[in-house]
A = this chain, B = another copy of it.
Amino acid sequence: MYIEESIQHYLDELASAQPTPGGGSASALSGALGAALASMVCRLTPGKAGYEEVQSEIEQIWEQTERLRARFAQLLQEDIAAYGQLAAAYRMPRGTDEERSERAATIQQRLAAAARVPLEVVEGAATITSLCRRIAEIGNVNVLSDILASTALERAAAEGAAAMVRINLRPMKNAQLAAELEERLANAWQSVEQGRLEVAAIVGRRA
């Protein structure tokens, strides 16, 4: 589990010629960093004078940012596993007709899995961005620049992971499934883009 190893080790493995970890995993980590910053702003709000009325709401938001931070940390690892499984499918034997058909079916199945992991990163980034909008409205005004950093990291998570989703959708033969995943991707991405503009506007007014 990379999450239990040092940052230096993860960076070294990312920079290496090994195919994993790659952009999908790094995007999940960016999502976790953004979620952690959102959690920090939530933690720095209750108990401060002037924030009594929002205390219970911000604590509920904090539970959600923490849950997603944990999920992003899992996705960092799941992306590596899904990519490894897909690469193994491409290496399956294709000597006989039966082998070729078995290999093709396995590839299709694992393409879907390899698309779903980064898609969940994009959707998680959309959720954190939407929580950041509310934090920007009611959170401690002294740490709102950390909310800007959080939405920037969520946008990077969404953008990098979206590139990985698209790569896995391209060779997908089930057109209905591909269209369904693509629609989820488009919705989540739009929500990230719209949300970050709203967060920037709110922080600009309050800070």
Assess whether B40 is in contact with A33, with CB atoms less than 8 Å apart: no
Quote the shortest CB–CB distance from A195 to chain B (angstroms): 14
A73-93 residues at the B interface, CB under 8 angstroms: 73, 76
- Contacts A6-B5, A149-B164 hold; do A69 and B11 have CB atoms under 8 A apart? yes
Pick the residue among B3, B15, B36, B76 that contacts A36 (CB under 8 A): B15
Residue of B26, B34, B39 near A37 (CB, 8 A) is B26
By beta carbon, the residue of chain B nearest A44 is: B17
Of the stretches A49-57, A102-110, A154-162, A179-187, the one at the interface is A154-162
* Interface residue A129 (Cβ < 8 Å from any Cβ of B): no
CB distance from A135 to the nearest CB of B (A): 13
**A119 interface residue (CB < 8 Å to B):** no
Name the contact of A152 in the complex, choosing from B3, B69, B160 (C-beta under 8 A).
B160
Q: Given contacts A11-B33, A36-B26, are A152 and B148 in contact (CB under 8 A)?
A: no
B residues less than 8 Å from A65 (CB atoms): 15
The residues in A between 111 and 136 inclusive whose CB is less than 8 angstroms from any CB of B are none
Name A's interface SS: helix
Given A14-B40, A17-B43; A149-B159 close (CB under 8 Å) = yes
**Any chain B CB within 8 A of the CB of A8?**
yes
Candidate in A10, A16, A26, A34 with the most chain B CB atoms within 10 angstroms = A26
- Residue A175 lies at the interface, judged by CB distance under 8 Å to chain B: no
Query: Which chain B residues lie closer than 8 Å to A15 at the CB level?
Result: 35-37, 39-40, 43, 65-66, 69
A2 lies within 8 A of B7 (CB)? yes
